[in-house]
Structure 1
Amino acid sequence: MRAVFFDRDGTLMEDAHYCADPADVQVFPGVPAGLRRLKRAGFGIFLITNQSGIGRGWITEQQYTAVHQEFLRQAGEASIDATYYCPDAPDVPSSCRKPEPGMVLQAAADHSIDLSASYFVGDKAADIECGRRAGTHTVLVLTGYGTAAQNSNAEFVCKDAVEAIELILR
């Protein structure tokens, strides 16, 4: 299976900085329709997200789950095949925390994904490095923290997730 791995915060939705309230979830315009187009084209869609607010004690797993459920509702739940999240704080050794590719490799094993035919789309250098280490094509979006990560050596740079989806579908 070909897949697109997306970072969530800053890539598909506004980065509400350790979002703990579902009312703060704002999926970017065009994202739900774009995800549906990827699904129709045969791509698997996976979310790969660091959630260090949990490990730092700033948000609870329950708050993360409530926020994520609202994200799925707004984005179109049927479009997302699976979500992999890492709750580890940055100062804790971790094989799942991006830029480590652990979550992508787990998704690939769980869903028989051809990583060389897949893409990682994100707004931070850690997202691009994660995709590179996993063997995917990489797309930096300039939403969220994207403008600060323009030296990330991404294969492609797009203004937002919708433009990234258009690029992938070409």
Structure 2
Amino acid sequence: MRAVLFDRDDTIIVDEPYLADPKLVRPVPGAEQALRTLREAGIPLGVVSNQSGVARGLVTEGELAEVNARVEELLGPFGTWQMCVHAESDGCDCRKPKPGLVIRAASVLRVRPGECVVIGDIGSDMGAAAAAGARGILVPTARTRRAEIAAAPCVATNLREAVGMVMGEWG
């Protein structure tokens, strides 16, 4: 594995539905340290996130950019931000569980999709990883369905443990 891609909401920041206000950005517990660990190891990081609030008219692209900038202020820089701003009915190739976001992020980070780990909190994150040929690590939350946990290729109890799994592969 040569790069790590994170889902945004409920993976690195606390989920606020259709988050449009950067003041509401709150990192999940342990996110800052987990990301620092990867950066100190020289591992490229990216974010891959479905943001259908833009298509629904609930979040503007400017607000989305402001929220993502706030995430970087709190958690440090990411080498790429790949956002799907489409609705489910749009038929795009980027909405997770389709592979588009992972493939684009890998390209920007100059690695093959198969050299990436995708860390996320729901089945569509794991689906996107599998569809792109990447490895997936699920970090369940209270909203993660049991079937998604059962189907996940790898499950961590929290972000710190997920990063530990990634680091174990590099070590």
TM-score (normalised: structure 2): 0.91
Which consecutive aligned stretches of 4+ in structure 1 deviate over 3 angstroms post-superposition?
none
Residue pair 1:15, 1:144 contacting (<8 A) in 2 also? no
User: For this pair of structures, how many residues does the alignment match?
Assistant: 167
- Of 157, 160, 166, which residue of structure 2 is paired with 1:159? 157
Question: How far off is 1:117 after superposition?
Answer: 3.2
What residue is the counterpart of 2:22 in the other structure?
Answer: 22
Residue pair 1:142, 1:157 contacting (<8 A) in 2 also? yes
What residue is the counterpart of 2:143 in the other structure?
Answer: 145
Q: For residue 150 of structure 1, what is the amino acid of its counterpart?
A: I
Determine the C-alpha separation between the residues in 1 that align with 2:82 and 2:109. 12
Gaps of 5+ in 1: none
What residue is the counterpart of 1:4 in the other structure?
Answer: 4
What residue is the counterpart of 2:67 in the other structure?
Answer: 67
- Alignment map for 1:82-121 (pairs within 5 Å): 82-121=80-119
Determine the C-alpha separation between the residues in 2 that align with 1:41 and 1:82. 18
Residue pair 2:80, 2:109 contacting (<8 A) in 1 also? no
Determine the C-alpha separation between the residues in 1 that align with 2:153 and 2:69. 31
Local SS of the residue matching 1:54: coil
Gaps of 5+ in 2: none
Residue pair 1:10, 1:144 contacting (<8 A) in 2 also? no
RMSD (Å), alpha carbons = 1.6
Determine the C-alpha separation between the residues in 2 that align with 1:127 and 1:145. 14
Local SS of the residue matching 1:157: coil
Identity of aligned residues (%): 33
